[in-house]
């Protein structure tokens, strides 16, 4: 549909200007100062007009109307103009892309930085429960020392995670207002549940966990540790539910039309248990458990190499390696289940993950390679029919290719391919590292294998990188949709946001987040270099009361 300018000379077609349906929000930039008939306005405004047909031109420019077909919308982002003549002569497409791309980069950078910390909190929460339970069970003071030490790391991680996560909620309104309006009734419910049932639970008992060691009983303190761990997991539940609904919407209906359309919940439990939520939740939690376990393993291996805090380090390695191996094997199972869900619910995403252009039976699985997008093929090491077997449990079942989808509905192929295979490769590597460590632990030679210990030291980076790549793959693979099949990412922007504003805030957030990350690394390194306190080997206060003897 062509945009029409309404001015003194009547309607005039603007050559080459294509206005998409509701979904489409076009940014049009004036080149001079506004005429007096517009009141000298310089602030951007959003002119929405729903009409069954193109409006007739009026000589009175005060009506300042842009004729659109039904349910279309134009965002006019003004700069001063000298006259109305030629106001629409230059529809600048690059600012549209600039605003869109900058907004995506800003939100991506914000959440990528934030996502460093929640997996650590969830994983360390599990490790704290295991350590404190081991102390209560065995009465070994080393486990008490471990729990006290890792509680400090957990508190640091939690604090930075909260500080970095708040910004994202504001970005929904500032940069993605159309999206917020469209899915607010659905997305807001999950976020509210996360705040009420998860964050308050976790933050409430966190005070007892951190400051209550000598002030509350053993049972009360262990209960608080369990509640903090549960709260961290519940937080993941509701965030994953919200994000999974964007991937596979369910339990909703659309109310209104055009720019007034929005999704409303018809079945809350269908929203919670949408087709991808449980697979993605389990996959995410396994990654978080790996993050916490490999961090404990890394620090323990470092202490062994430096011959410091020997008893603490060896106990940390024993617990950490066992949890790491279990979590890594569970991650393999959850990844397989999640990929089959993607094949069923988002076949274009799976095709992009594997660079598969043509629907193929006996589809190969690429182990290592790259996508030649020009010739629509993958160049690399492939295993015949394995993709069909893993996806459908039958090597002869066809796997849908990208050519079955319109070009405009395909995700970026190369990026999706690289992110997905990077995540999978690291996942298999972590299984190997955890298995190697457990093997030498079983052989009782681990603490003499310095080359293995060095691998374990750097293994803490593996889950973090895999978590980031997995999130990138999931979000890039969903493109061009922000809500799969319902709302495109390009249609979800705020009406009046400007590229320069987004760029300025992006730079400022980057600087602030860099400073926060620097503080986090400094404090984390300081606590690790200091190590566990010898005083923590001896419980104090109510925790020092003698254990009741079993009868």
**Does residue 194 form part of some domain?**
yes
Q: What is the pLDDT of residue 141?
A: 86
Output the six-digit token pair for 158: 């939690």
- Contact residues for 259 (Cβ-Cβ < 8 A; gap 6+): 22, 48, 50, 71, 73, 178
Number of domains within the chain:
3
| 361-395 per-position pLDDT tens digit | 888 888 888 888 788 788 888 888 888 888 888 88
**Domain termination site, one of 52, 81, 110:** 81
Output the six-digit token pair for 486: 């319902």
**Does residue 521 form part of some domain?**
no
**Same domain as 100, residue 72:** no
3-state secondary structure of 262: strand
Handedness of CA 85, 91, 92, 96 (dihedral sign): positive
Helices first, then strands: H and E counts in the chain: 15, 12
**Same domain as 298, residue 201:** no
Give dist(CA 79, CA 38) in Å, integer. Answer: 13
**Same domain as 312, residue 360:** yes
**Does residue 529 form part of some domain?**
no
**Same domain as 104, residue 70:** no
Give dist(CA 189, CA 266) in Å, integer. Answer: 12
**Does residue 523 form part of some domain?**
no
**Does residue 311 form part of some domain?**
yes
Q: What is the pLDDT of residue 219?
A: 86
Residue 18: Cβ within 10 Å count: 11
User: Which of the residues in the chain have pLDDT under 50?
Assistant: 1-96, 550-551
Interhelix angle for 118-138 vs 218-247, to 10°? Answer: 150
**Same domain as 381, residue 237:** no
Q: What is the pLDDT of residue 301?
A: 92
Render the burial of 57-73: b for 16+ CB within 10 Å, e for the rest.
beeebeebbbbbeebbb
**Same domain as 70, residue 39:** yes
| Domain of residue 129, residue span | 92-276+501-510
**Same domain as 290, residue 146:** no
**Same domain as 334, residue 223:** no
| 100-139 per-position pLDDT tens digit | 888 888 888 888 888 899 899 999 999 999 999 998 888 8
- HSE (CB half, 13 Å, CA atoms) of 39? 7
**Does residue 543 form part of some domain?**
no
**Same domain as 139, residue 242:** yes
**Same domain as 151, residue 223:** yes
Handedness of CA 339, 461, 143, 160 (dihedral sign): negative
Q: What is the pLDDT of residue 191?
A: 81
Q: What is the pLDDT of residue 257?
A: 76
Asked whether the beta carbons of 349 and 364 are under 8 A apart, the reply is no
What's the N-to-C CA distance of the chain in angstroms?
A: 84
**Same domain as 241, residue 105:** yes
Q: What is the pLDDT of residue 292?
A: 92
Q: What is the pLDDT of residue 8?
A: 35
**Same domain as 135, residue 251:** yes
**Domain termination site, one of 40, 58, 81:** 81
Give dist(CA 74, CA 25) in Å, integer. Answer: 6
Q: State which H helix or E strand residue 366 sits in.
A: strand 365-372
Give dist(CA 442, CA 510) in Å, integer. Answer: 45
**Does residue 63 form part of some domain?**
yes
**Does residue 447 form part of some domain?**
yes
């Amino acid at each position: 549909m062509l945009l029409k300018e309404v001015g003194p000379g009547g309607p005039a077609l603007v050559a080459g200007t294509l206005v998409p349906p509701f979904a489409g929000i076009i940014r049009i930039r004036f080149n001079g100062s506004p005429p007096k008939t517009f009141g000298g306005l310089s602030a951007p405004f959003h002119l929405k007009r729903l009409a069954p047909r193109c409006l007739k031109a009026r000589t009175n420019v005060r009506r300042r109307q842009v004729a659109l077909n039904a349910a279309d919308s134009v965002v006019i982002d003004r700069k001063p103009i000298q006259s109305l003549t030629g106001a629409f002569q230059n529809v600048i497409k690059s600012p549209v892309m600039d605003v869109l791309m900058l907004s995506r980069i800003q939100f991506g950078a914000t959440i990528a930085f934030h996502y460093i910390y929640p997996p650590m909190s969830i994983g360390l929460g599990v490790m704290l429960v295991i350590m404190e339970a081991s102390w209560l069970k065995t009465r070994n003071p080393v486990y008490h020392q471990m729990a006290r030490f890792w509680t400090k790391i957990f508190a640091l991680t939690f604090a930075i995670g909260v500080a970095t996560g708040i910004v994202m909620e504001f970005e929904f309104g500032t940069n993605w207002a159309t999206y917020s309006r469209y899915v607010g009734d659905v997305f807001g419910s999950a976020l509210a549940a996360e705040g009420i049932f998860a964050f308050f639970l976790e933050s409430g008992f966190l005070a007892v966990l951190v400051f209550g060691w000598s002030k509350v009983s053993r049972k009360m303190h262990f209960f608080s540790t369990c509640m903090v761990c549960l709260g961290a997991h519940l937080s993941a539940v509701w965030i994953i539910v919200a994000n999974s609904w964007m991937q596979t919407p369910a339990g909703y209906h659309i109310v209104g039309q055009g720019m007034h359309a929005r999704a409303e919940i018809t079945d809350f439990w269908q929203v919670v248990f949408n087709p991808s939520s449980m697979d993605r939740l389990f996959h995410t939690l396994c990654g978080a458990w790996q993050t916490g376990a490999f961090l404990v393993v890394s620090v323990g291996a470092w202490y062994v190499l430096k011959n410091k805090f020997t008893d603490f380090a060896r106990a940390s390695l024993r617990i950490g390696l066992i949890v790491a191996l279990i979590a890594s094997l569970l991650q393999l199972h959850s990844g397989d289940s999640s990929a089959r869900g993607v094949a069923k619910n988002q076949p274009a995403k799976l095709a992009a993950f594997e660079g598969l252009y043509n629907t193929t039976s006996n589809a190969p699985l690429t182990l290592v390679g790259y996508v030649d997008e020009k010739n629509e093929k993958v160049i690399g090491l492939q295993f015949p029919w394995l993709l069909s077997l893993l996806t459908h449990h039958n090597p002869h079942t066809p796997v849908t290719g990208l050519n079955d989808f319109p070009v405009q509905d395909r995700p970026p192929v190369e990026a999706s391919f690289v992110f997905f295979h990077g995540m999978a490769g690291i996942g298999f590597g972590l299984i190997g590292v955890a298995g190697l460590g457990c093997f030498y632990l079983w052989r009782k030679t681990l603490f003499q294998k310095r080359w293995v210990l060095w691998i374990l030291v750097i293994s803490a980076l593996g889950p973090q990188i895999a978590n980031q790549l997995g999130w990138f793959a999931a979000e890039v693979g969903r493109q061009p949709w922000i809500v799969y099949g319902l709302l495109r990412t390009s249609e979800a922007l705020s009406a009046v946001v400007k590229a320069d504003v987004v760029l300025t805030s992006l730079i400022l957030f980057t600087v602030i987040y860099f400073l926060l990350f620097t503080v986090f690394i400094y404090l984390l390194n300081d606590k690790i270099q200091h190590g566990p306190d010898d005083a923590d080997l001896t419980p104090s206060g109510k925790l020092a009361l003698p254990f009741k003897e079993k009868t």
